[in-house]
Amino acid sequence: MQRQARPFAQVLIPSPLKEPLTYAVPPSMHERLEIGMRVQVPLGKRKVTGVIVDFIAETTLGKIREILAPLDEQPILDRSLLQLAHWASRYYLAPFGEVLSAVLPPTLRAEARRVVLPQPGEFVLSAKLAKEILAEIRGKKGRMTVKSLARKFPGRSVYRALDRLAALGAVKIVEQPARQQSRTHGEPLLDGPSKSADWSKPTPTREQKEAIEFVRERLNGGGFETILLYGVTGSGKTEVYLRAVEETRNLGKRSLILVPEISLTPQLLDRLEARFPGRVGVLHSGLTRSDHWSQWWRIAAGFADVVVGARSAIFAPVLDVGLIVVDEEHDPSYKQDEGLRYHARDLAIVRAKLAGCVALLGSATPSIESFENCRQGRYRLLELTKRVEERSLPRVEMVDLRSDRDSQLEIRSAKPIRLFSYRLSEALKENYGRGRQSLLFLNRRGFANFLQCYLCGFVFRCSHCSVTLTYHLKRPQLFCHHCGFRQLVRDTCPACGNSSLKGIGVGTQQIEEELSRLIPQARVGRMDRDSIQGKGSPERLFRKWEKGEIDIMVGTQMITKGHDIAKVTLVGVLLADQSLNIPDFRAAERTFQLLTQVAGRAGRGEEPGEVIVQTYAPEHYTFQYVASHDYRGFFAAELDSRRALAYPPFARLAHLKIEGPKAAEIENRARQLGELLREEQKANPGRWGKIEILGPAPAPIQKLRGRYRWQILLKGKKGGSLLELAARAADLFPDSRHSRLHIDVDPYNML
Ligand code: ADP
Ligand code: ZN
């Protein structure tokens, strides 16, 4: 009834449009349309899919076009999700339509997926076209896509006719994935938990019980609150999440769990499936298109009580969300660095606030920002200080590579480079001898193995990006990790002509080879971006490890997360200081997190664990706090340094990146933008006077994928005025064919 008075709808189209467009609602649709439903609308000469975000009573616009057809019978995006999208668009300075693209996956926009099914019964049809359409479908295969019908009756109002047929009940319009559907609506994706493990419900420890009680009361009380569960590695945080999910379900609501990289956490999925059989939804980018599509629908239709997903699942269409969990909340993979540059943990808190529910963040190494929020009383802190079943934290030992002469990476020596200190070699042999598993972590952040001439110093670089090419031993080949450029390895140096090339740095392959010399009988597994590509899922490898079929697992960042293998008793860290050397104010924080997490993989079973960290800088405060398992100590030291340098959480940042194919033009435009911003600042000292404008300067990686890059960093104490100035930059910088401006609010990667 109310809608009668609102003859216009605001329709948002997933495209870089800043605002929704206004369309007229045909009288036949007044009763049926609601906010959050998809509709088909004309746009220029095309017909596109959009979402109704509002109804309005009047408009000053002249020529208004009509909505062609409703695409849903129920809203598929609820109000709080639309509000979240709107919030994200304002905060991240992104067009509202672009945010909708993140919320509504492409598989839900295509017309080819809509199928018309005739329904049994006789229908009195007055319109000629409706009769013809019905006869056509009934005559043919008994089903036709909307698109093929539109093609069959060109120039006629097929959509209007279909809408009438659907209203009469003569046809049903359903959505199907383009290719043969592997699973249908409502069917779970998981094949049930792994049989090899015991997934029964453990009795909570005293600390777990307290945390569970608190969360339970909070859930029952209703309303928004952010809780940070700071629990050491192996303290059983997952159990707290699971109980919270259970309670949420008892309250008739649904839960959303975000994890850093879902393909790497089969154990969590196993546990969820065991507790909530058939009621788990999964969303991540690794799913096939049709699986993604059917999962999305299961979730939107309310078939899943708990939804697990990586970063983008923050936009999952969970109805009645009562709990949002962010596991490993400190993890950098929650930050999206391209397109819509958002932070999923931060959006989780906003979504919880909009939905009026609980956000539960968990980590053994909370981000400095989150822990500071607890200290300031904005978040509630819950702690798990002990590992379950009285297991002790592993003993962490530093090995100073400078004094371990044997293991120096000697460029000129003819013998193979030694990667393991004497201490680590012996520990590996001993652990293998005792039939236990070991894990070797290669810290490769900001580090690449490259090929260098040891006589003239020549290094192979990518001709498109200004970074060193990575040297792959097995192929052998040189590879650019930014743009994918490949080059075969030659025997002689292109600069001086001598046969004096030598691989510098280390890759996981090299470690694998060295291990086979050290312990020839050991079964070695390798897990990094390269090794899991093509070889199927990391899940298979992971299962082998779980079953004890791998003695030593070698890997990069991937192996530091979430795994829980009882028999791993030794963890070795190679090149621990690499991640300290990147130009980023979070370098120490990331290093602390990485090392603490990987150390936490040791000794999770009955046997205590041991960690050996090889470094050239054992005196660095980060390593000291890793060794003493002292998060609070690290936090205090790090917070002091952030305060002194005015970095987050004491300031907010907006990173302006200017890029394009021509070096001179990019430099000019960056300088020009810098000047314009400074003029703006002078003209508005009250508003922007306190904002620091750093740069313009060339980016640390000056050239990437053939594009030159410059940057300006805005730093300010107040978020509001900072965003305003960043938005002003966008106005001052009209994109041209040869230069683009990207704005990254709360940046994580400034290379
Ligand atoms: P975290 O995420 O805090 O590192 P997990 O949640 O992975 O730790 O738990 C570590 C291990 O302890 C898992 O194998 C889990 O099944 C087990 N566990 C959790 N809670 C208990 C408990 N109360 N009693 C016994 N084992 C438990
Ligand atoms: Zn490149």
Q: Which atom of ligand 1 is nearest to the CA of 566?
A: 14
Helix, strand or coil for residue 180?
A: coil
Position 132 scores a pLDDT of 87
Which ligand is nearest the CA of 237, by number?
1
CATH 1.10.10.10 fits 113-176, yes or no: yes
pTM for the full model? Answer: 0.83
Q: Which atom of ligand 1 is nearest to the CA of 235?
A: 3
- CATH topology of 206-390 equal to that of 395-448+505-643? yes
Q: pLDDT tens across 203-216, in order?
A: 999 999 999 999 99
> For residue 467, how far is its CA from the centre of ligand 2 (angstroms)?
7
- Indicate if ligand 1 lies below 6 Å from the C-beta of 237: yes
Nearest to 600 by CA among 447, 439, 446: 439
**pLDDT level of residue 182 (50, 70, 90 thresholds):** very low
Nearest to 314 by CA among 275, 355, 279, 278: 355
Q: Domain 206-390 adopts which CATH fold? A: Rossmann fold (3.40.50)
> Is the model more confident about 139 or about 686?
686
**pLDDT level of residue 633 (50, 70, 90 thresholds):** very high
- Indicate if ligand 1 lies below 6 Å from the C-beta of 202: yes
The one-letter code for the residue type at 30 is H
**pLDDT level of residue 510 (50, 70, 90 thresholds):** confident
**E strand residue ranges, 57-121:** 69-70, 114-118
What's the CATH code, domain 3-108? 3.40.1440.60
The owner of tokens 């309005």 is: 56
Say how many C-beta atoms besides its own lie within 10 A of residue 426's C-beta: 12
- Indicate if ligand 1 lies below 6 Å from the C-beta of 385: no
Domain 652-745: CATH superfamily is Ribosomal protein S10 (3.30.70.600)
CA distances (Å), 483 to each of 430, 463, 716, in order? 42, 10, 33
Question: Mean pLDDT across the stretch 32-49?
Answer: 90
Q: Which atom of ligand 1 is nearest to the CA of 271?
A: 16
What distance in Å separates the CA atoms of residue 299 and residue 148, rounded to the nearest whole number? 29
Q: pLDDT tens across 242-291, in order?
A: 999 999 999 999 999 999 875 556 778 888 999 999 999 998 877 887 78
> For residue 211, how far is its CA from the centre of ligand 1 (angstroms)?
14
- Indicate if ligand 1 lies below 6 Å from the C-beta of 533: no
Show me where the domains of the chain are located. 3-108, 113-176, 206-390, 395-448+505-643, 652-745
Q: Domain 395-448+505-643 adopts which CATH fold? A: Rossmann fold (3.40.50)
Phi first, then psi, for residue 510 (nearest 5°) are: -65, -40
> For residue 438, how far is its CA from the centre of ligand 1 (angstroms)?
20
> For residue 235, how far is its CA from the centre of ligand 1 (angstroms)?
6
Position 1 scores a pLDDT of 41
- Indicate if ligand 1 lies below 6 Å from the C-beta of 514: no
Check if the beta carbon of residue 450 is closer than 8 Å to that of residue 460: yes
- Indicate if ligand 1 lies below 6 Å from the C-beta of 610: no
Q: pLDDT tens across 429-466, in order?
A: 999 999 999 999 887 654 456 777 767 667 787 777 66
